[in-house]
Structure 1
């Protein structure tokens, strides 16, 4: 893939120079333009695109990524507890913002998953299903948005790029609280643009509701959405797309939906008493994550911002694998070799956006990009935190491809062939056995089945490896709770933490489950207990023990 990226990047850079310098243009033919503008072609293209998007995001959803991430286990358990008991694992009734590990996680995905669990029962497939469906829907909504803001061809290309984007496929297949954030912003932006075009108040009100809802997904939206809305609203008022009355109505909708979240932050920032009502509760976190997420505002702040600018482009287009759960080496967010198209498309979009008399709506995506770019400079970057930047990036690549199509259609066709070839290589890698095995190790594949088996044995205590005894097992206590369906009341009344007031709390024990491994697990005092351990612990036990393997984990118990 390395050489493919080098060659493809070079070719695309040359293609852009040719398209810019050669005076004789060869745009899309009139016959082809009529074809793609036809209603029949649109229906067929969109149907095939959505079927492809659904296949890439739904097939084998419970098996890939193999296993379950610790954050998935945290949100998944709280989702199951809310669906079945009305409280999370910390005992809060319908929390506005769940305490989770201690510093909380976004509530949107927890409640979305709890609804699906309530309807369809608890399984890893059902837990991941809301995110997968949001991923498919976002492909369709991006098409609708670009059809309104640009032209039919760019809309087709943009939706196709999102459909085959490695980041988008991977993020649609596992349930992290941060993953829905860019999709909800996209939905809000679509209805804002729709309001600009049809002047309907309900479009603006629905847009405001979706933007407010996005605030419940992940903390990145606290900065991105306000900056984005300020730019959009000012632009819409200047262009007279938006009336003061519509602004007030939308503002009221936005505020009403955001009030519970505002209450939560007032309680936590000012350390006020918790709030408990018949409908919901407002808990206090053990710690705020601002120090571990945002760059400290000290003498090194501006130097760190400059480093973030460099690392941002590295992350987008030359990022080495450090987050296997978000990207695969060589493919990145939207294929490494599209970097020249991103630069070109960004330049063209901003050039059009600053022309207030332009009928194009490039300002919408440019506003999103500016807001997300500002946010990405002031945080400790990782893909989950700055995923709000990626849909505008994909849009700029689509605009760059449109530039080629307007000037040299043959070169545009070659670029599309390169992208489809890259997507084929990605699908082969992602769904292949090597990645499945690698992500299975990281997502602790086999732990859930091992926990269920150990829990079914009639033994006194279940001893389980976790982060403080084996760093390869992160959040083992939550995985056990999720797979064994532990009563949240029983957990909350018996749990003892290593670090009760920390940002990330880890259980030492609860009920009959213990996460401190004995120094000598073969001592006679543990003969009536059962152990859940990484598979390489097997050589520590002799023939007196029954050892049952579940991929990366084993369950060990002494024979009776």
Structure 2
């Protein structure tokens, strides 16, 4: 499979029709042999692309990322609970928002992984495999969308291939996150909508897929309504011409799905997530505004103190409206920055390979060229406007949130249209240059793409596991399994919260019976000396925060006959290299290591027969 074969694979109907007049100067030099066998070769190429996509997303899914991140364990335990009891783990029957220990989540991904969690348990394969499959499905759906919108099989194949090797898409297809499901549903909705303009029956399918999209991830709650408004403005006159029975069925299907979900969003806790991530929920806004006003005041009077009443001009230039407006604009522009798209990407190690852009650097050129060709080569104004408005509105779900300028999860709707621009740039560049230089173009482009891809894969498989191991919560599985296996020997087992709130890791990795947890939720809290109020589940205790004590104080404050799971960062010593530093009033039962060999957790017990050194 080569880029040249993707560029040349077209059929005669496309050459004759273009996009019903949507392409200027459509290439007419496709080899006749390829034209005669276009259908077969197209299907073979599509199969190879999807097979490659599957391999890139499923291979080593249990090894990289190195462990299930806390959110993955959470959604896995929800699915486990739903499969066993029909309720989420906090006891809500078939909920439209999942109440987690930290916040409320959109439910669809948890429901979708019930089969794999039932088969593979709460494991990387059980939680992540559906995301990988949704990723492959999304590639196929984008192929169909481009084929429908541009009436160009070659462009559709090229788009599918570029998305297949996209770092952004590969990464989000390899962990248990809702993003690939959201993109697949949205792309399906848009594809069937465009088809419905030719055959009205497809509008029913479009309405169902669009209605399901917000149930997948929070960003869609903002983006989908914007998209529906855009589609109404662009295609409203076309839609009203569809047979009434299809319009009525589509509307009913859409309302049946969305009304309960909208009600749950506004009255059932669905807005809690936005409240916690909103830029308006800034703890530093007042102090930053106050500091700016103080600077202005000190220019006039060097003795001015913090908190002093500013002048009218101070308040005019430094206030909450200006502050938050600036944050929102910066977030919006940051989403299109070269830093985010091509250089460093999302700085969170769970969202991106550290130091790698969301796109390959060479794609920056073709995105710009694609934008130019969109206006020069695509005559269908509605398709042109749809793509432009898709790009312009894609960052809107993210800009009102903290880190909104570089949050790859909340900016996922930006991925497909930029991929489309990339392929428009490649495709039309190929046909713009002379025939003599096309082979050189293909060879150079293929080589640069190949090297970029190999470099990314090297980083992903070699460096990323170690660089990101702490953020992927490696060691928790082994730590919880060790704690559970030893717990019957002790009256009390304390699991520290110094690394992360440990409750969900305990529930997920121990596969604690959901029905039993539901009966005890919310958990009883009791006072434990030196630990404050702890949540209690059997003989397990979960403090709200980590201890501010060193290793040599630990033995004196642990209860009698107790077991303590401590993150290595709480102990602040490397007991692998220096086991002799364990005090005599403690017993080091086990060291749990990160993949790098560094200590992740220490399992310690109180030595009842000894006092501290």
Which residue does the alignment assign to 1:404?
A: 429
Find the counterpart in structure 2 of residue 18 from structure 1: none
Aligned partners of 1:213, 1:190: CA distance in 2, in Å?
15
Aligned partner of 1:553 in structure 2 is 601
Query: What's the offset of the Cα at 1:438?
Result: 1.9
For residue 249 of structure 1, report the CA deviation from its aligned partner. Answer: 2.9
Q: Which of the numbers 434, 444, 469 marks the counterpart of 1:440?
A: 469
Shift of 1:118: 3.0
Summarize the alignment of residues 146-545 of structure 1 with structure 2, pairs less than 5 Å apart.
Answer: 146-150=146-150, 151-196=152-197, 198-201=198-201, 203-239=202-238, 243=242, 245=244, 246-268=246-268, 284=269, 287=272, 289-290=274-275, 292-293=277-278, 298-314=321-337, 315-319=340-344, 322-349=347-374, 355-356=380-381, 361-380=383-402, 381=404, 382-408=407-433, 409=438, 410-432=440-462, 434-457=463-486, 458=488, 459-466=490-497, 470=498, 473-492=499-518, 493=520, 495-496=522-523, 508-516=535-543, 519=549, 520-523=553-556, 526=559, 528-535=561-568, 537=571, 538=575, 541-542=582-583, 545=587
Q: Distance in 2 between matches of 1:483 and 1:263?
A: 33
CA distance in 1, matches of 2:37, 2:147: 11
Q: Structure 1 320/250 Cα, relative in aligned 2: closer, same or farther at 3 Å? A: closer
Most deviating of 103-112 and 248-257: 248-257
Measured at CA, do residues 465 and 524 of structure 1 come closer, stay the same or move farther in structure 2, by a change above 3 Å? closer
Q: Which residue of 1 aligns with 2:74?
A: 74
Contact 2:135–2:180 (CA under 8 A) maintained in structure 1? no
Q: 2:138 touches 2:183 (CA, 8 Å); kept in 1?
A: no
Deviation at 1:406, TM superposition (A): 1.4
Alpha carbons of 1:373 and 1:265: their partners in 2 closer, same or farther (altered >3 Å)? closer
What do the CA deviations read for 1:425-477 (whole angstroms, capped 9, x no partner)?
11121111x211122221121211210121011222222222xxx2xx22322
Q: Is the 8 A contact 2:97 2:265 kept in 1?
A: no
What TM-score does the superposition give when structure 1 sets the normalisation length?
0.81
Q: Which moved more, 1:168-177 or 1:507-516?
A: 507-516
Higher RCO by CA contacts (8 Å cutoff, separation 6 or greater): 1
Any stretches of 5+ residues in structure 1 without a counterpart? Answer: 1-24, 269-283, 499-505
Give yes or no for contact 1:192–1:207 (8 Å, CA) kept in 2: yes
* Change in CA separation of 1:350 and 1:512 when aligned onto 2, cut-off 3 Å: farther
Which protein is bigger by CA-based radius of gyration?
Answer: 2
Partner of 2:7: none
Deviation (angstroms), 1:414: 2.3
Q: Deviations over 1:462-502 (max 9, x none)?
A: 22222xxx2xx22322111100112334434265599xxxx
Q: Residue 362 and residue 33 in structure 1: after superposition, are their counterparts in 2 closer, same or farther (change >3 A)?
A: farther
CA offsets, 1:216-265, max 9 Å, x none? 11121112111112222332233569526244432221111112212213
Seen in structure 2, the aligned counterparts of structure 1 residues 242 and 220 have a Cα distance that, compared at 3 Å, is farther
Say which is worse superposed, 309-318 or 541-550, in terms of deviation: 541-550
Give structure 2 stretches of 5+ with no counterpart.
1-24, 282-319, 526-532, 594-599, 609-613
Q: Distance in 1 between matches of 2:275 and 2:559?
A: 43
User: How many equivalent pairs are there?
Assistant: 503
C-alpha contact 1:35 1:41 (8 A) present in aligned 2: no
CA-to-aligned-CA distance 1:161-201 (integer Å, 9 cap, x gap) = 110111111101111234532222112112212222x4131
Give the C-alpha shift of residue 334 in structure 1: 2.0
